[in-house]
Amino acid sequence: MTSVPASRRPSRVPWGVIVWPALLAFCLLPGVLPRLVQPLTAGERLTFEPPLWQLTLTHLGLVLLATGVVLLIGVPLAVVVTRPGREALRHLTETLVGLGQTVPTFAVLALAVPALGFGWAPTLLGLIVYGLVPVVSNGVAGLLSVEGHLLDAARGMGMSPWQRLQRVELPLALPVLLAGVRTSTVYNVGTATIGAALGAGGLGAPIINGLSQQNPGLVLVGAVLAALLALSLDALLGLVVSSPLSPAE
């Protein structure tokens, strides 16, 4: 009995890729989520302006924009510090980047307000600082995990340092790097809720309004949508991480 190569077996889509986005879409239907949390509002009717779908898109836009900037900064930084002879620079970079998760995010946002004002700018700064840690750490770990004999073979084939990086190191480090991007993105879904206190909007607005009005229904609406958004992005990015592109045969 012949076995089918793993690369040719039909892949199954994880259930989370379907379930979590479907639940998120269901909760964004007009009136669905407010009706479900109505018992927690002491009879007060919940209204949202802007609507929940717009708050969700704003939140998603903040997270994706921050993730894009993190990639533009984090990947080149990981490449630079993993070149031979730069161990001291690598340790210094990892220490400095790690401060992003040591300092409370709200403190970073508060310090950014005098320079950047209110709105998206200070929120994006906080998300970028917070999201750099897993991307840089995983990028460094992935690039350093490439076995030396593979690099020697590439060098023996006459590849330049840039060709070795492009054709050998980055493809082999990609799964580990993508895992860091996944972690960074999911972290920032939760972190972005704080941005509503600075006028950035998003799903943090119902949470903050609910806390100020002592309305648990509003808090639950924002928390449920943020959680479903995080689970949806985690499932989608997990599908990418678990299905890396295989070399053409």
CA–CA gap between residue 134 and residue 140 (Å, rounded): 10
Q: What is the mean pLDDT of the chain?
A: 84
Residue 6 clears pLDDT 70, i.e. is over it: no
CA–CA gap between residue 7 and residue 173 (Å, rounded): 19
Residue 245 clears pLDDT 70, i.e. is over it: no
Overall residue count recorded for the chain in this entry: 249
Residue 115, token pair as written in the block: 């320079």
Report pLDDT digits (tens) over 22-58: 999 999 988 888 888 877 776 677 777 788 999 999 9
13-23 mean pLDDT? 85
Q: What phi and psi values does residue 172 have, to the nearest 5 degrees?
A: -75, -30
**Is there a contact between 129 and 108 (Cβ–Cβ < 8 Å)?**
yes
DSSP notation for 138-154 = HHHHHHHTS-HHHHHHH
Mean pLDDT lowest among 2-6, 15-19, 84-88, 235-239: 2-6
Q: Specify the pLDDT at position 247.
A: 42
Q: Of 56, 62, 52, which Cα lies nearest the Cα of 109?
A: 62
Q: Specify the pLDDT at position 225.
A: 94
Q: Specify the pLDDT at position 42.
A: 66
- At 19, the amino acid letter reads V
53-78 mean pLDDT? 94
Report pLDDT digits (tens) over 94-113: 888 888 777 777 777 777 77
* Cα dihedral 57, 108, 89, 147 sign: negative
Domains of the chain, each with CATH number or no CATH: 61-241 (1.10.3720.10)
Q: Specify the pLDDT at position 43.
A: 65
**Is there a contact between 28 and 36 (Cβ–Cβ < 8 Å)?**
no
